[in-house]
Structure 1
Amino acid sequence: MKLAGRLLLFLTLILCGASMPALAEVENAPGANLEVSLITYGPGEIYWERFGHDAIELRDTVSGEEIDFNYGTFNFDEKNFFINFARGRMHYLLDAEPTTDEEDYYKQVGRSITRQRLALTPDQAAALRDFLFWNLRPENVGYNYNYYADNCTTRVRDAFDRVLGGGIKTRLTAMPGGMTYRQQTVRLMSAQPWLMLIMDLGLGPYADQPLSAWKESFLPEELQKNLRTVTVDDGHGGTRPLVQSEDILSPNRLDVPPTAAPDLRMPLGIAGLIFAGLIVITWRSAKLAYALLGSLFLIFAGLSGLLMLILWTLTEHHSAWANANLLLFNPMAFVLIGTLWHARRHRQPSRLANGILIIQLAALLVALLLHLLPGVVQQNQPWILFALPCWLALAWSLRQSKVSG
């Protein structure tokens, strides 16, 4: 048993040592021997892959060794991982591994891989390498993840900008972005419609702020596109493109996300009118169905409002704070469920129920009037178009109960 244990330890050391030369050679290579590239991976099929991914590749041109550094690693075994995730306290890590190991997975699942070789000077390449290896130290490897402001792509963007003396930020801050956080989110999640709707409902006004190309480069494909516009000093008094070459290492074999965000106003507006129409029709001819339909809407409104309140008050999901959809859906809706079932027997609503209805209709009016104000306003018109006819139909039906009573 001792001999077998020693052999196992010996083999383990050999295997572990086999993976070290790549890191060692890249870490010790002169800056003149380092080739720096941005590797961009296209969106995947699973919802958490829809935003794509990227990495910084360092290549030692003498030995041929290539290392990918990516900021998208997290640890499920971390203490209180799921609680922290729900509260918006997500801890991500920088990871480094041989390029072939990293890329094999993306090739296997059919996601595109693009390499952009960057025109960094030897000093800049060495400075980037030194920063990345410093970032790999246990005391530096983690960071607090934020979906839009501090994620695996903004970390890559900022690492490049750091060694270029702020040149990328200067250029991209002056360029307007093409979409808002909300539009990009809805666009990329459109392959999963129900999840897309949930995310759109849960996003607050933060997601509707105008973006520069710098901020919109929170997405891998946007950073890839925007780096094409950046120029750097060529060392002779002129400039040259930062992106020296761009190659597709593996083609995309999956469905491509749409180029524009779907307009949700028409489908949600129609859904609201249909639901409101069903409430009116069933009130007249099928009171049980009326109570069930109305309860379904009120449960949806109550649960949605409760979740939005939790996200605003108990979490660090800043993009969900101050959500104007709370004017449309809120926990007060739960109080009206019993009133709805009494209404099918023509019982008058209580004073509390009447008061809640008046408050809710006033909140709907406020939600509409907010869009007349200047500045950044939450773009929740689709949900207004859905909620307004439903609430009006419920208010009408409860008013009929009062009249009948």
Structure 2
Amino acid sequence: MSLCGRTPAPSLLGRFMAGIACLLLGCLLLMPAPARAGVANAPGSNLEVSLITYGPGETYWERFGHDAIELRDTVSGEAVTFNYGVFDFDESGFLLNFARGQMHYLMDAAPSEVDQRYYTEVGRSVTRQHLAFTPAQAADLRDYLLWNLQPENVRYEYDYYVRNCATRVRDALDKALGGTLKPQLEARPGGMTFRQQTARLMSQQAWLMLILDLGLGPYADQPLNAWQESFLPEVLQQEINHVTVASIDGKAQPLVLSQNLLSPNRLVPPPAEAPDLRLPLALAGLALAALLASAHRFAPTAYALLGSLYLVLAGLVGVVLLILWTLTTHHSAWANANLLLFNPLAFLLLRALWRSRKHLATSRLANGVIVVQLVAVLIACALHLLSGVVQQNQPWLLFALPVWLVMAWSLRHRPS
């Protein structure tokens, strides 16, 4: 007897019906579950293709933004984003490969909701552009992305400007569209150079912006078309609005069917234009030159210390620039004209600098180095008179020129 009272015994008919119900339930549980349709096996007619663009983040490696391809099965509702922006710090030799310019990045896939929730939580914008893919093109894109996701295909050699998360997404879309994306973007001029886009996006980390600008060679100053400039996710997002494709019936239609802002940006946005570094660096160079000249007259020890700091930094910068040019695959840093301004010859002037503190004569070697350095600066200035792609290093010219002039004067100056 229970606390709730006695339960009445079931009748014969009731027991029979209960047995039939249990038998049917058991058969249903033992039956194999029907295959659930999803992105991986949905027909192309059920696949919706979108470009997802994430705005720049706060950390320096997030300043260039990010993007991904979203495939959505309109029947099951499953949505997966495929992106090419994953790297592994634990990879063997990662730091050495990074220094040599031989980094390996990976492709990854995740449920769209999971990916987009993260970017929304950290305040980065999320934009979806629904693209006009035919069923056959959508299926081809899905098959390519799944093939690319296999362990033997998932890695690729990364390059900041020509092989990154945005260019791989761009190339995958172009491949599935039968190559119609590339010629249309190549026909459109770009808005900025690699250097300008880099300075613009890194301007909130001024110290890093200056280091990158100092290390970029003439490769970063070549004119770009929209295809090249779409190494940036936000540029790809803007430029595909101008692309047209053929529909199923052969008529031209916009590639972007609709664009929706899924989450607004809550961070400080990057400026629309690259900062002009000429005036700030020119003023910094003049200030340092004036300080050296004044210290040489009134505080010889301070002059020697300040001058030594400049020479050591100039020499170290030159060593780094030489290594980037000769021992790495960072082609954006090759043939850097800033080597004419900052080079290892600066180390040879350290002894002469401390001798000049006591107004001792400068050695023949030091005199020769000074002449070579001044000629190098003049050559760096003269390069801007040439036609073609010239490295836009005027800010560093304006910084280095007054400092080297004062340095040459102070090493050669003798009080009457």
TM-score tier after normalising by the smaller chain length:
over 0.9
Residue 139 of structure 1 deviates from its aligned partner by 1.0
**How far apart, in 2, do the equivalents of 1:229 and 1:292 lie?**
58
Q: Once the two structures are superposed, what CA deviation does each residue of 1:81-138 show, in whole Å capped at 9, x if it has no partner?
A: 1111111110001101101111121111100000000000000000000000010111
Structure 1 residue 184 corresponds to structure 2 residue 190: no
- Matched position secondary structure for 1:162: helix
The aligned residue for residue 318 of structure 1 is 331
Residue 24 of structure 1 deviates from its aligned partner by 7.1
**How far apart, in 2, do the equivalents of 1:137 and 1:235 lie?**
31
The aligned residue for residue 107 of structure 1 is 120
Structure 1 residue 333 corresponds to structure 2 residue 346: yes
Counterpart contact for 2:70–2:112, Cα < 8 Å: yes
**How far apart, in 2, do the equivalents of 1:23 and 1:358 lie?**
77
The 1:358/1:23 distance shift into structure 2, 3 A limit, reads: farther
Counterpart contact for 1:23–1:67, Cα < 8 Å: no
**How far apart, in 1, do the equivalents of 2:76 and 2:353 lie?**
75
**How far apart, in 2, do the equivalents of 1:353 and 1:399 lie?**
10
The residue type equivalent to 1:339 in the other structure is A
The aligned residue for residue 382 of structure 2 is 369
The aligned residue for residue 5 of structure 2 is none
Structure 1 residue 235 corresponds to structure 2 residue 212: no
The aligned residue for residue 255 of structure 1 is 268
Residue 234 of structure 1 deviates from its aligned partner by 2.5
- Matched position secondary structure for 2:50: strand
Structure 1 residue 200 corresponds to structure 2 residue 251: no
- Matched position secondary structure for 2:242: coil
Gaps of 5+ in 2: 1-33
- Matched position secondary structure for 1:26: coil
Residue 239 of structure 1 deviates from its aligned partner by 1.1
Match of 1:226 among 224, 239, 244: 239
The aligned residue for residue 159 of structure 1 is 172
Structure 1 residue 396 corresponds to structure 2 residue 409: yes
Identity fraction in percent: 67
After TM superposition, the structure 1 = structure 2 runs for residues 1-400 of structure 1, keeping only pairs within 5 Å, are 25-400=38-413
Counterpart contact for 1:22–1:67, Cα < 8 Å: no
Q: Once the two structures are superposed, what CA deviation does each residue of 1:330-374 show, in whole Å capped at 9, x if it has no partner?
A: 011011112111100001111111111111000001000100111
Counterpart contact for 1:22–1:65, Cα < 8 Å: no
Number of residue equivalences:
383
Tell me the TM-score normalised to structure 1 length: 0.93
The aligned residue for residue 9 of structure 1 is none
- Matched position secondary structure for 1:114: strand
Counterpart contact for 2:190–2:223, Cα < 8 Å: yes
- Matched position secondary structure for 2:130: strand
Residue 284 of structure 1 deviates from its aligned partner by 1.1
Counterpart contact for 1:22–1:98, Cα < 8 Å: no
Counterpart contact for 2:37–2:76, Cα < 8 Å: no
**How far apart, in 1, do the equivalents of 2:364 and 2:67 lie?**
58
**How far apart, in 1, do the equivalents of 2:291 and 2:273 lie?**
33
The aligned residue for residue 15 of structure 1 is none
The 1:287/1:266 distance shift into structure 2, 3 A limit, reads: same
The residue type equivalent to 1:240 in the other structure is Q
The 1:259/1:320 distance shift into structure 2, 3 A limit, reads: same
Q: CA RMSD in A?
A: 1.4
Residue 235 of structure 1 deviates from its aligned partner by 3.4
**How far apart, in 2, do the equivalents of 1:39 and 1:108 lie?**
16
The residue type equivalent to 1:183 in the other structure is Q
The residue type equivalent to 1:87 in the other structure is R
Greater helix share, 1 or 2? 1
The 1:24/1:47 distance shift into structure 2, 3 A limit, reads: farther
| Larger gyration radius, structure 1 or structure 2 | 2
Counterpart contact for 2:134–2:248, Cα < 8 Å: no
The 1:337/1:101 distance shift into structure 2, 3 A limit, reads: same
Q: Once the two structures are superposed, what CA deviation does each residue of 1:49-81 show, in whole Å capped at 9, x if it has no partner?
A: 000000000000000000010000111111111
Residue 290 of structure 1 deviates from its aligned partner by 0.9
Q: Once the two structures are superposed, what CA deviation does each residue of 1:136-180 show, in whole Å capped at 9, x if it has no partner?
A: 111111100000011110000000000111111110101110000
